[in-house]
Amino acid sequence: MNSKIDDKKLHQLELRISSLLRVGVLISGACLLFGWIGQLRQDGELLSTFTTYHPVPLLERMQWALLMRDRSLMMAFIGLMILVCLPVLRVAMTGVLFILQKEYKLGLMAFGVLGALVVSFCLGIDL
Amino acid sequence: MPEVLLLITAIAAGFLGALLGLGGGIIIVPVLTLVYHVDIRYAIAASLISIVATSSGAAASYLKDSLTNLRLAVFLEVGTVSGAIGGFLLASYLKAQALFLLFGIFLFFSAVMMLRKRGDHVSTINHPWAESLHLDGAYPDDKGQTVSYKVEMVPLGLIAMFGAGVLSALLGIGSGIFKVLAMDGAMKLPMKVSSATSNFMIGVTASASAGAYLLRGDVHPEIAAPVAIGIIIGSFVGARVMVKMPARRIRQIFVVVLAIVSVQMILKGLS
């Protein structure tokens, strides 16, 4: 019985976190939209330049955008970064919830997933 | 203007995806590569960004219906995220042709799976891991009665999730089909619980590789922005009108389209 009450509480708290994530998606979506419109006005048609694969690391592109004061590109990248970090935030908060509920095994797993996400992100950095 | 056309295409992809219960990736990657001739690696990265956006935005609605098994989702995310890391590493060694070939095979498999009749079942035996982690649960059925279910073959499910994670990172898809297949077929979860839990997990799986692709430089806002915005708008509208649309007929037409596109992708992979 106690476990069922805890489950319901956990469900409600997770629901609140997920509702917060929706706000995050809206913020990142707005950043992406304004950034994209700005880029369109500034540079015009760009899609045809992506037919061949030449990746430029994010940090390099952001440095370039800062140097050139390209606000549109910066805004679009900020939107992308917020978006990608939202599930990470959800996993972290779920882990905290499990720990608070004294569900240590599942809490540990959630933090394991969080660690794996961080490792995965780091793999994208060209050292 | 191709960018605006891409936005409209993404809206259509999100709309169709919501209507058929599919992620946008299955539609957007072939469109970007075959129609707009974007490099498949950029297409995959942009698709993953759109998956993160739709899944994060809809997470609350997946939880509201009380079908999502949160404990099981967290447990299985261990498998999908490790798989996504493996998929990202593997993708660095694969040529574009191999990705086209793999995507074509995946599309064909998806078309076959869409024709499959879904039978529902409720397991009464818990695997020891499920017992220890309290992974079993209950959900309200159509009549409003609570149906309890147990979880079988948990290790097999975890291995299957690893595979789903690999495919997600390699092909820029949510891998929902494989997740549902593992939960429904191996772990013997009720279909509704499998679908809801899979949808809930998709964002975390996709973010693992999306973050890595973003940092490596595969994600270009010029492609990812219209795709993500379009799919968010399309799936939002699609979810609202889906009850009024003849989804069965659309599904039958889509299976044919999927089969044709899969052949095109395979041919491009072989060329």
Model pLDDT for residues B50-65, shown as the tens digit of each residue: 888 888 877 777 777 7
Instruction: Establish if A46 touches chain B: CB-CB under 8 angstroms.
Output: yes
Report residues of chain A scoring pLDDT below 70: 1-7, 126-127
Q: Mark yes or no for CB contact B211/A53 under 8 Å.
A: no
Q: CA B207, CA B210: separation in Å to the nearest integer?
A: 5
pLDDT at B263: 86
Average model confidence (pLDDT) across chain B: 85
How far is Cα B126 from Cα A5, in angstroms, rounded to an integer?
A: 21
Identify which of A91, A109, A126 has the shortest CB distance to residue B204.
A91
Q: A50 and B226: CB-CB below 8 Å?
A: no
Tell me the one-letter amino acid at B92: S
pLDDT of residue B233: 86
CA–CA separation, B150 and B199 (whole Å): 20
Determine the average pLDDT of the residues in B19-43: 84
Instruction: Give pLDDT tens digits for B104-146.
Output: 898 888 888 777 766 667 777 889 999 888 888 888 877 778 8
**For residues B134-162, average pLDDT:** 87
Cβ(B30)–Cβ(B22) under 8 Å?
no
**pTM of the entire predicted model:** 0.89
Task: Please list every residue in chain B whose beta carbon sits closer than 8 Å to the beta carbon of residue A70.
Answer: none
CA dihedral B133, A15, B234, B224 (to 10 degrees): -70
Q: Are A117 and B42 in contact (CB < 8 Å)?
A: no
Contact B3 A40 (CB under 8 A): yes
* C-beta of residue B178 within 8 angstroms of C-beta of residue B160: yes
> Would the CB atoms of B77 and A3 count as touching at under 8 Å?
no
Spell out which residues of chain B touch residue A23, defining contact as CB-CB under 8 Å. none
Structure tokens at B44: 């995959």
- Whether the CB of A87 is below 8 Å from some CB of chain B: the reply is yes
Chain B contacts in chain A segment 94-123 (CB below 8 A):
94, 98, 103, 105-106, 109-110, 112-113, 116-117, 119-121, 123
Q: pLDDT band for position B84 (50/70/90)?
A: very high
| B74 band by pLDDT with thresholds 50, 70 and 90 | very high
The answer to whether the Cβ–Cβ distance between B212 and A120 falls below 8 Å is yes
- Chain A residues lying within 8 Å of B70, measured CB to CB: 10-11, 14, 94
Helix (H, G, I), strand (E, B) or coil at A56: coil
Quick one: pLDDT at residue B246? 64
d(CA A34, CA A87): 23
Chain A residue numbers with beta carbons less than 8 Å from the beta carbon of B64 are: 15
Q: Say yes or no for a CB contact (<8 Å) between A83 and B81.
A: no
Cβ-defined contact of B133 to A46 (cutoff 8 Å):
no
